């Protein structure tokens, strides 16, 4: 396995490592805004590395360009769908996590931040948890080979804090009663949601206001969704994602003359 120090300077993975190191240092220095900006950038570069390992052209916004050196790379918001189209799906919950934290980055860089700082404290460890898993399973790079040893304790504390936050949310849901076994479509954690009145659902981890879909018109499953369903139009988020993938493939087939 290639050690961190042997990675080419300027490579996607090498740059991702630099940004993740800065994120952890900023988190330790109680600078959550900078920690978020750097963590999201590290995530974007790691995802692009996965595409580049299949074909370097796949990280370009327009893969058919005649001047690839001048073409911009695909945006972070478009990366989950491109990976899914190429048979490397992140899953709807991970995609939603990336979208949410990417929006925080946009707020920090371009606007006045309006996100809940406490939610950010919970979600940043979750993003690190995702990165650790993705680096290991998709890029063959365990986190301990990706980070300098001086930051092992910080990374361990963040991952431990995430597990503690999940356990605390599960305990809070159990105490309130009406715990649902489903995973939250926003944060992806199980046994952290309670059924409220009028089919409303509350997540004790991310604080999301959710809804129960008693029967999806697509797959027939009972599940939890992040929007209020309408009479006769009850579709779970997995079915909506699948329909979106099918539509995109149809457009690709049309463009190819199939």
Which pLDDT value is given to residue 4? Answer: 36
Give tens-digit pLDDT for 177-202: 889 988 887 777 788 999 887 778 99
Give me the residues of the chain with pLDDT under 70, please. Answer: 1-10, 111-122, 229-233, 245, 252, 255-258
Q: Tokens 């809940």 sit at which residue?
A: 116
Give the domain range for residue 192: 178-258
Which pLDDT value is given to residue 7? Answer: 43
Q: Is residue 238 part of a domain?
A: yes
Structural domain count of the chain: 2
160 neighbors 152 (Cβ within 8 angstroms): no
45 neighbors 21 (Cβ within 8 angstroms): no
7 shares its domain with 95: yes
15 shares its domain with 60: yes
104 shares its domain with 53: yes
- Residue at a domain's end among 125, 147, 169: 147
Q: Is residue 206 part of a domain?
A: yes
């Amino acid at each position: 396995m290639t050690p961190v120090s042997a990675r080419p300077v300027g490579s996607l993975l090498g740059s991702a490592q630099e940004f993740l190191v800065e994120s952890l240092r900023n988190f330790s220095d109680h600078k959550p805004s900078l920690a978020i900006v750097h963590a999201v950038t590290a995530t974007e570069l790691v995802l692009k590395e996965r595409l580049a390992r299949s074909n370097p052209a796949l990280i370009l916004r327009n893969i058919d360009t005649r001047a690839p050196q001048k073409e911009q790379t695909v945006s972070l918001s478009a990366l989950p769908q491109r990976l899914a189209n190429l048979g490397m799906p992140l899953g709807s919950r991970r995609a939603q996590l990336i979208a949410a934290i990417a929006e925080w980055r946009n707020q920090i860089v371009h606007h006045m931040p309006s996100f809940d700082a406490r939610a950010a404290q919970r979600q940043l460890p979750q993003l690190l948890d995702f990165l650790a898993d993705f680096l290991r399973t998709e890029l063959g790079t365990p986190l301990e080979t990706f980070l300098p040893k001086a930051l092992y304790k910080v990374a361990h504390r963040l991952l431990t804090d995430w597990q503690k936050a999940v356990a605390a949310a599960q305990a809070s849901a159990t105490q309130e009663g009406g715990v649902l076994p489903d995973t939250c479509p926003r944060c992806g954690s199980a046994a952290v949601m309670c059924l409220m009145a009028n089919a409303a659902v509350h997540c004790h981890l991310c604080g999301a206001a959710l809804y129960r879909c008693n029967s999806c018109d697509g797959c027939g499953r009972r599940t939890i969704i992040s929007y209020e369903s309408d009479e006769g139009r009850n579709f779970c988020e997995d079915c909506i994602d699948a329909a979106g993938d099918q539509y995109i493939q149809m457009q690709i087939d049309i463009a190819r003359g199939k």
